[in-house]
C-alpha cells in the first residue's frame, strides 16, 4: 500500500504533467482494484471452505455476515481513497499548469508544499485504514473462534 506514496513526487521530477498524471492514475486504480479483488478472493474462498467442512448453518451465517461487512467496508474505503488520491493528483496537475503559465515563485512553492502535504495526508490515511482492517480482522477472527467452540 505504501508504494503509491512516491508517485506524488512525479510532479516535481517529471517535466510532463500529463504523463505523470496518467502514470499515477493508472497505478492507483490498479492498486485499489488488486486489494478489492484480493478481498473478494478471501471472501469466496472462506465460503467454499466452510461449505466443504459441512459446518452448521449458524456458523456459516455468522461467517457470511462478517465477511460481507469486511468486504463491503474495504471496498468503500478503497473507492474513497482512490477518489481522494485522484483529487490530489488532479489538483497537483492544475498547480503545475499554473506554475508553467504564470512563472510565479509562489506557485512553485505551493506546488512543492502541496505534494508534501499530500504525502503526509496519504501516510496518515494509509495508517488509519491499515490499523482499522488489522483490528477488524482480529476482532472477526476472535468472534468466529468463540462461535465455533460454543456450538
pLDDT of residue 120: 66
Task: Return d(Cα 76, Cα 29) in angstroms, integer.
Answer: 14
| Cβ atoms of 99 and 111 closer than 8 Å | yes
pLDDT of residue 52: 62
**Per-residue pLDDT tens digits for 15-25:** 455 555 555 55
Range of the domain at 108: 2-150
**Per-residue pLDDT tens digits for 89-102:** 667 667 666 766 66
| Cβ atoms of 128 and 17 closer than 8 Å | no
What is the number of alpha carbons within 13 Å of residue 127 lying toward its C-beta?
Answer: 6
Count how many domains the chain has.
1
Task: Return d(Cα 144, Cα 142) in angstroms, integer.
Answer: 5
Question: For residue 53, what is the DSSP state?
Answer: T
Amino acid at each position: 500500500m505504501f508504494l503509491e506514496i512516491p508517485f506524488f513526487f512525479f510532479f516535481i521530477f517529471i517535466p510532463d504533467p500529463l504523463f505523470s498524471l496518467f502514470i499515477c492514475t493508472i497505478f492507483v486504480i490498479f492498486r485499489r482494484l488488486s486489494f478489492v479483488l484480493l478481498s473478494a478472493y478471501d471472501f469466496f474462498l472462506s465460503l467454499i471452505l466452510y461449505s466443504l467442512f459441512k459446518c452448521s448453518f449458524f456458523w456459516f451465517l455468522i461467517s457470511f455476515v462478517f465477511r460481507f461487512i469486511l468486504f463491503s467496508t474495504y471496498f468503500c474505503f478503497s473507492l474513497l481513497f482512490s477518489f481522494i488520491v485522484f483529487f490530489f493528483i488532479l489538483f497537483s496537475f492544475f498547480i503545475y499548469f499554473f506554475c508553467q503559465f504564470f512563472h510565479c515563485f509562489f506557485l512553485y512553492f505551493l506546488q512543492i508544499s502541496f505534494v508534501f502535504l499530500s504525502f503526509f495526508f496519504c501516510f496518515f490515511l494509509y495508517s488509519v485504514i491499515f490499523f482499522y482492517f488489522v483490528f477488524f480482522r482480529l476482532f472477526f477472527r476472535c468472534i468466529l473462534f468463540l462461535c465455533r467452540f460454543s456450538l
